[in-house]
Amino acid sequence: MINNFSPSFGSNYNKQSAVTVLIIINIIVFVIINILRDVPWMMYLGLVPSLVLSRLMLWQLVSYLFVHAGLWHLVLNMLMLWMFGTVLEQTWGSRKFLGYYFFTGIGAGICSIVFAHNATYPVVGASGAIFGLLVAFAIMFPESVILLFFIFPMKMRYAAMVLAGINLLGALSNPGSEVAYIAHLGGGMFGYFYFKNQTIRSVLAKLSIADWYETQQRKKEIKKQNDLRNINQRVDEILDKISSQGIESLSKNERKILEQKSKL
């Protein structure tokens, strides 16, 4: 990627980020599906428009985002999620990023159902949500330059238009294709609506899954601080013991505490 006008792609990568969690979940699901091949995962977890409507399998609007048809499908989507999602999460924060990600992903699924409600084949992959991320990046950092298809340098505002055009042509010329052109366009369209509608942004700001994630992050941070405080207190006691009785007097557990402190 070329980033003359925008923050570095994937910079300050945080192992605790929402992007990391999403990538890990996608990888785990991919591994499970390929190990347990006898289970019809695609029909259960993929988005099958006819099943969502006839059997109210509404969870598919979310679960399909974590199911991928092949290794390259997974790798390309996760690469795009890492490059664009990391910057957006750093800019917005995890809560807002997660709300937007699922809003565009679910929106992409809804569009697939609307335009192909009788379809019996599954739509899978995070591509709809990824396209939503591309639209967000194009709106927020329009002058940033990327390598389109990893070859052609192009400003983000034009790259998003080119990709949208390719998907539109694909949807019009080959509507029965398994490539979910409508889902891609739907994710981008919902992303555009997000930036144009304050009500949508206000509702998503209260999205429960985002609140849950931030709450978990706060709990982890509080626990980390409490653990550090407790370790520091124990270390002081151990040092006093060493001073009075010598290091040979330390128990196995006390030595372990000193090791933990040195790692911290």
Identify the three-state secondary structure at position 175. Answer: coil
CA 77 – CA 130 distance, rounded (Å): 7
Count of structural domains, the chain: 2
From 127, 208, 243, 262, active-site residue = 127
* Inside any domain, residue 4: no
Q: Based on the fold, state whether residues 200 and 222 are members of the same structural domain.
A: no
CATH of the domain at 57: 1.20.1540.10
Helix axes 208-245, 252-263, angle to 10 degrees: 120
- Is 7 inside any structural domain? no
pLDDT digits (tens, 9 = 90+) for 138-197: 888 877 777 776 677 778 777 778 777 777 776 667 655 545 777 888 888 898 888 887
Is the same domain home to 199 and 243? no
Please give the Cα distance from 179 to 167 (Å, whole number): 9
Quick check: 159 and 138 in contact, CB under 8 A?
yes
Residues 151 and 177 in one domain: yes
Of how many residues is the chain composed? 264
Per-residue pLDDT tens for 9-65? Answer: 444 445 568 899 999 999 999 999 999 888 888 888 888 888 887 888 888 899 999
Assess if residue 58 is contained within a domain.
Answer: yes
Which of 205, 226, 246 delimits the end of a domain?
205
Mean pLDDT across 197-220: 70
What backbone phi and psi angles, to 5 degrees, belong to 250? -70, 140
| Domain that includes residue 245, residue range | 216-263
pLDDT digits 0-9 by tens, 159-171: 778 777 777 776 6
> Is residue 143 in some structural domain?
yes
* Domain contains 5: no
Q: Active site residue: 63, 112, 144, 184, which one?
A: 184
| Residue partners of 121: CB distance under 8 A and separation at least 6 | 48, 178
Residue 146: CB atoms within 10 Å: 25
Active site residue 17: no
Q: Please indicate, yes or no, if residue 22 is contained in any of the structural domains.
A: yes
Same domain, 25 and 139: yes
Residue 166 lies in a domain: yes
Local structure of 232: helix, strand or coil: helix
Distance of alpha carbon 196 from alpha carbon 216, whole angstroms: 30
Which of 75-89, 118-132, 215-229 has the least mean pLDDT?
Answer: 215-229
Angle of helix 127-140 versus helix 71-80 axis, rounded to 10: 20
- Quick check: is 91 in a domain? yes
Verify whether residue 184 is a known catalytic residue: yes
pTM of the model: 0.69
